[in-house]
Structures are given as structure tokens and as C-alpha cells.
A and B are shown apart, each in its own frame.
Chain A
């Protein structure tokens, strides 16, 4: 990985959004020459975080979801998934508990902040 390499993608938070965002991250990880097995795991964890974010989206009034990946050094990748927009308290789909468990199993560190949206910050070993 080249230190300081960065990927930033912003798009409308619909259930269709995670797939192209994962595609952008996959290309970024290939460019950084991250090992395939590590890359697959990172894509799964970030995919779960993205799915978590777009669950906020409502037809007709979607917010946005932002993916930010940063190669902090040769062995550490920081990925933030952040959503903003229209939020209404509602029951989360039960799948999401499982999704966050997967994120925690893959990432070295996970921080979740809720402040006008949700930000999931994940630190990965990406040797």
C-alpha cells in the first residue's frame, strides 16, 4: 500500500448503492496491491457498513452515503462509512445485528458515532 492513498465516493443512499461502492473500493484495494483474501474480507465488512447506512434511505427522500478509505501506512487501512439525510427512528432490520458482528470480526477497530447521521469508522490490517 502507498501511504496517503485515498478514495472518496459520495452517492445517494439507496439499496442499490452498496454494490458500486464496493466496486470502487475493490479497485482501490487492487491498486494498493492488497492481498486478495484480505481484500475480500475488507469488502465484506465495508459492505455490511454500507448496507447499514442505506437502510436509512426512504423512497422519495433518500439521503447520501459517503465512503472514505485512507491508506494510513503500509499496513493500515482506515475506512469510514457515513450517512446523512433524512432520518426517522424506526426499527432496524434484524439482519443488521449480524452485519455489525461481521464488521467487528474483520476490522481491528470499529467506532460507531451517531450525530446527524451515522458514521462507522473501521481500521483494518491490510498487509
Chain B
């Protein structure tokens, strides 16, 4: 990766529900860089559609700027949540950080 495409890591933790909507929205803002983005959800103990909506918005913004994103999850529950929402294929989801980074290093979106 060139210096212009350095990795951005956004980490969210805890119980992310409707009470955290503004905080999640504030955390999921695209920076000015041009590199890939790893969204680390490995320490999220609860997430609902509030988070999924914000992730969709973020993904659309990132893709519009040619930036790849990957989600790192800590429990299978988040993957099931995406499936229930009909979004099983909407994100690149990994439960292993190394594999997520390998995916993100593999060229432009």
C-alpha cells in the first residue's frame, strides 16, 4: 500500500442500540484519506438495525469514493443479524483480523 492509501480503523464497542444512534453516526464518518477502512465491531456486545443503517450509509459513501471496507466481528450474532435484515451479502464480514486486512490490501474496491 502506498502512503496515500493507509488503512483507517474505526472501532465501535459496547451495546449499540437506539440510545447510541447519534454516537454511532458520529463515529462512522469517512475521513479524508483514500485507503481502505476496517470497521472493528469485535467488542460490540449488542447491535441492532440502528447500526446496520449507519453501516449501509457508510458503505455507500465509501464505495462512492472507491474505498474498500471490511467488518471485523467478534461473535456470529452480527452475521445472523445481517442475514435477518436481508443483507447477508452487503458487507465483507470477517471474524479474523488478519483475513480482513488481507482482503483490504487486495486492491481497490
Asked if B19 and A102 make an inter-chain contact with CB atoms under 8 angstroms apart, the answer reads: no
Is A44 a contact partner of B86 (Cβ separation < 8 A)? no
Knowing A15-B19, A18-B17 touch, does A95 contact B46 (C-beta < 8 A)? no
B92 contacts the other chain (CB 8 A): no
Nearest CB of B to A32, in Å: 19
Among A2-10, A48-56, A72-80, A116-124, the stretch that binds chain B is A48-56
> Cα distance A54–B46 when bound, in Å?
18
In Å, the complex CA distance between A48 and B83 comes to 15
Interface size range on B against A: 10 to 19
Bound-state Cα–Cα, A101 to B49, Å: 9
Quote the shortest CB–CB distance from B86 to chain A (angstroms). 6
Q: Is A99 an interface residue (CB 8 A)?
A: yes
In the complex, what residues of A have CB within 8 A of residue B86's CB?
101, 105
Knowing A18-B19, A40-B77, A54-B18, say if A95 contacts B53 (CB, 8 Å): yes
- Residues of chain B within 8 A (CB-CB) of A51 are 17-18, 48-50
CB pair B85–A102 under 8 Å, yes or no, is yes
Is A55 a contact partner of B18 (Cβ separation < 8 A)? Answer: yes
Interface flag for A29 (CB, 8 Å): no
**A18 — which chain B residues lie within 8 A by C-beta?**
17-19
CA distance A16 to B19 in the complex (A): 5
Chain B: CB-nearest residue to A22:
B46
Q: A44 touching B19 by the CB < 8 A rule? A: no
**Chain B residues within CB distance 8 Å of chain A:** 15, 17-19, 21, 46, 48-50, 52-53, 77, 80-81, 83-86
